Chain A
Amino acid sequence: MTNTADEQPTTRIRRFGLYRIAEHWLHAAVFCLLVVTGLAQKYHTYDISQWVVLRMGGIDAARLLHRVAGFLLILLFAQHIAVAVFGIVKRRWQVSMLIQVKDYQDVITNLKYYFGLKNHPAACDRYDYKQKFDYWGVLLSNAVMIATGVVLMFPIGTTKFLYGEIVPAANVIHTNQSLLIILVIAVWHIYNSIFSPEIFPFDTTILTGFISKERMLREHPLELERRERAERKAIKAASRVKSG
């Protein structure tokens, strides 16, 4: 499994930097705040919703909190896009989140694997298709929620430039899209990062930034291979410099 003992001083591999860890935490917090204040308004007739709203200091306070959280989400969203554009254009980052043909092939491969038609699951790169689905789901959802949320926050401003029907349409999209993304997160994201038998009880990667080599080999073999190739190249180059 391992090449030499010397090349594997640690079984941990750094996967996320501090910035991504902080970004995930902030996003999780803002998301939870939006869900609580939002669902209490969506399902306002339920006792629990009314309890939540009254605890927050009334409907006006709950709406204000929801809008403040929405504003924070806009900030998070904007900086994420800005950093991504900057990284890809200036720093020549690999666009590892881009959905590729291979991801669709991986889905089919994995389905075959689940049904016993293949002995191994798909070999994935830095992000597998499940993670990409999560990421793009949240990213696009955020874009939709932000756009419709701004319309709902400024209905009069909106109707200065757009048709009046936009406002109720934004309302319908906002309320339905919220439910969709909450369910996706609650089912897909929570399963894949907590309840999946392969990582249960908890995937600590996004909290510590480290992933075990064993999991890396199982879940992201292509990335591991590329990393090791790069390391070997670097070692060779270093020894060449030494010997030269």
Chain B
Amino acid sequence: MNLRTILIVSALLPLLQAIPAAFNESMADVTPPRNDACLACHSRQDIVIAFQNNESVSGHVDADKLKTSAHGELACSACHLEFSADQHPKRNFRSREQFKVRASLVCRRCHSDEQLKARPVHVELLERQKTGVPAICADCHGAHSVIRVTRKKSLNDDAKGCLSCHRRPVLIPFQKGEAQSFVVDPALLEASVHNKLACSDCHYGFSREEHPKRRFRTRRDMTISSAESCRRCHFDKYSKFQDSIHYTRLSQGDLKAPVCTDCHGYHSIAAMAKERIVSANRCRKCHAAIYDIYAKSVHGNALVNEFNQDVPVCVDCHTTHDIQSPHSVEYRERVPQMCSVCHANKEMMGKYGLSTDVMKTYLSDFHGVTLGFYIKQKNLLPSQAKGIAVCTDCHGTHNITSTVSPDANTVKANLVQRCRKCHADATDSFPDAWISHYKPSLKRAPLLFIITILYKIFTPIIIIGLVLQILLHIWRYAVSR
């Protein structure tokens, strides 16, 4: 114990630093927890490490937490390599950020990339590091209280600390406008799909020890910034989102463009909605006018008034995370495919007495053939800027009506208007050139049906007759030789 006292004294008093280094080092190897010397100073609350840019970080270390942490067995110098009871080199970091980056390098001395990659979140962080975004271990794991991030953690354990304040309304001030009060309902949190996560899994940088002060311009800024947390685990969805029209709008500065939490919610985040209307209502929040049109369509009406779960909602055509602009040529080209998901499904169409020939007849008709070739030749030939009529050009998009409803006459009357969008001088009888999606029969298009039948009968008769004559000719030639 005497020796320890000497060590403490030597740490406290620079005057005693003349004690031979070799002596100290040999002692360090023998006694396992040699942290008392460091803690003699660093257990103090007022110890502060200052950086060149006037930022600072607390130098306080909670001895109890350190002991119970995952690194409880380690000596201070196991991480703080150049520091020991008699060596306390002066460091001069530019900023808090630089300090953290350097500190994270220490962790990586023991925790190899291979070990880290066992967790998907690390893979993404390591990938980002290659692009110059540093991965700060302590942001998630803490520093001296280093914790294992395990799945076993329950909401109650971890959130207890946060909820002790946040279950009551907490005022969050914004640079612009009033402060707004936020409250986290533990019941909602418990019911969410994330109920096994800790608060700090999403609110990284926050922990019982650390509660950095952040100052957002507006509430919207905070929402957009918070949604960045999602990608740490849902990186696949995030990268899809980056291809979407919503992300494009956001990156162009349109702050109204939705981020993850706008559709999925945050503390109450639920699994994918089972009721389709829930999904449609999410889009409705911003696209109300289109929703109203959709709600009157044959699809929307069935959804809203009949609670039909077969009909398409917004995301069935527009997709979810990688929503594309519906005005692009690529989107147009996919339309027949989208419609055919249901309209070529015999089982589903059978329920409503609808024909599944629609796709086949479209593809074998002029427009369908052209579209098919345009798609195939897209990568091989110079691009075809021309749009070709797809399902929605005749049937409409959000306002699709039934073609067998009492409104069918309107459908027919509107058809020529649709034709004229591309064929400006189309006459009133031009739509009759389209025999709709049905195969010719005696009832529908009898003229075509009869012509087809005649050719089907006479073509084989003529050809078989000619072949028989040829065979007779050859036979006779062979016989008379």
Residue of A nearest to B424 (CB): A156
Which chain A residues border B463 with CB–CB below 8 Å?
180, 183-184, 187
Please pick, from B369, B433, B472, the residue contacting A155 in the complex, using a CB distance under 8 A: B433
Q: For the complex, is B466 an interface residue (Cβ under 8 Å from A)?
A: yes
Are the C-beta atoms of B455 and A159 separated by less than 8 Å?
Answer: no
CB distance from A57 to the nearest CB of B (A): 6
Please pick, from B376, B380, B429, the residue contacting A163 in the complex, using a CB distance under 8 A: B429
Please report which residues of chain A, range 102-161, place their CB below 8 angstroms from some CB of chain B when the two chains form the complex: 111, 113-116, 155-156, 159-160
Which chain B residues border A180 with CB–CB below 8 Å?
455, 458-459, 462-463
Residue of B nearest to A177 (CB): B455
Please report which residues of chain B, range 426-480, place their CB below 8 angstroms from some CB of chain A when the two chains form the complex: 426-427, 429-435, 440, 445, 447-448, 451-452, 455, 458-459, 462-463, 466-467, 470, 472-479
Please report which residues of chain A, range 181-208, place their CB below 8 angstroms from some CB of chain B when the two chains form the complex: 183-184, 187-188, 191, 196-198
Q: For the complex, is B81 an interface residue (Cβ under 8 Å from A)?
A: no
Which chain B residues border A166 with CB–CB below 8 Å?
433
Q: For the complex, is A172 an interface residue (Cβ under 8 Å from B)?
A: yes
Which chain B residues border A116 with CB–CB below 8 Å?
476, 479
Q: For the complex, is A17 an interface residue (Cβ under 8 Å from B)?
A: no
Q: For the complex, is B24 an interface residue (Cβ under 8 Å from A)?
A: no
Residue of B nearest to A60 (CB): B384
Which chain A residues border B373 with CB–CB below 8 Å?
44, 50, 53, 58-59
Are the C-beta atoms of B432 and A176 separated by less than 8 Å?
Answer: no
Residue of A nearest to B373 (CB): A59
A156 to B478, CA, bound (A): 56
Which chain B residues border A54 with CB–CB below 8 Å?
376-377, 380-381
Q: For the complex, is A33 an interface residue (Cβ under 8 Å from B)?
A: no
Q: For the complex, is B204 an interface residue (Cβ under 8 Å from A)?
A: no
Q: For the complex, is B425 an interface residue (Cβ under 8 Å from A)?
A: yes
Known: A114-B476, A184-B463. A172 touches B451 (CB 8 A): yes
Residue from A164, A173, A179 whose CB has the most chain B CB atoms within 10 Å: A164
Which chain B residues border A216 with CB–CB below 8 Å?
none
- Sorting the interface of chain B by its residue count into under 10, 10 to 19, 20 to 34 or 35 or more gives 35 or more
A184 to B74, CA, bound (A): 94
Q: For the complex, is B350 an interface residue (Cβ under 8 Å from A)?
A: no
Please pick, from A53, A177, A187, the residue contacting B466 in the complex, using a CB distance under 8 A: A187
Q: For the complex, is B374 an interface residue (Cβ under 8 Å from A)?
A: yes
Residue of A nearest to B378 (CB): A58
A50 to B448, CA, bound (A): 27
A198 to B466, CA, bound (A): 17
Known: A44-B373, A169-B448. A160 touches B427 (CB 8 A): yes
Q: For the complex, is B396 an interface residue (Cβ under 8 Å from A)?
A: no
Are the C-beta atoms of B423 and A58 separated by less than 8 Å?
Answer: no
Which chain B residues border A177 with CB–CB below 8 Å?
455
Which chain B residues border A176 with CB–CB below 8 Å?
451-452, 455, 459
Please pick, from B369, B426, B429, B445, the residue contacting A41 in the complex, using a CB distance under 8 A: B369
Residue of B nearest to A63 (CB): B370
Q: For the complex, is B372 an interface residue (Cβ under 8 Å from A)?
A: yes
A57 to B411, CA, bound (A): 37
Residue of B nearest to A180 (CB): B459
Are the C-beta atoms of B374 and A169 separated by less than 8 Å?
Answer: no
Please pick, from B381, B425, B462, the residue contacting A156 in the complex, using a CB distance under 8 A: B425
Which chain B residues border A53 with CB–CB below 8 Å?
373, 377
Residue of A nearest to B363 (CB): A45
Are the C-beta atoms of A44 and B372 separated by less than 8 Å?
Answer: yes
Residue from B374, B429, B430 whose CB has the most chain A CB atoms within 10 Å: B429
Are the C-beta atoms of A114 and B472 separated by less than 8 Å?
Answer: yes
Are the C-beta atoms of B372 and A165 separated by less than 8 Å?
Answer: no
Q: For the complex, is A69 an interface residue (Cβ under 8 Å from B)?
A: no
CB distance from B447 to the nearest CB of A (A): 5
Known: A159-B432, A164-B431. A114 touches B475 (CB 8 A): yes
A163 to B430, CA, bound (A): 8
Which chain A residues border B479 with CB–CB below 8 Å?
116
23 A-B contacts (beta carbon < 8 Å): A41-B369, A50-B373, A53-B377, A54-B381, A58-B373, A59-B370, A59-B373, A114-B473, A114-B476, A156-B427, A159-B426, A159-B430, A159-B432, A163-B432, A164-B432, A164-B434, A165-B432, A165-B448, A167-B433, A168-B433, A176-B459, A180-B455, A183-B462
**CB within 8 Å of A: which residues of B?**
369-370, 372-374, 376-377, 380-381, 384, 423, 425-427, 429-435, 440, 445, 447-448, 451-452, 455, 458-459, 462-463, 466-467, 470, 472-479
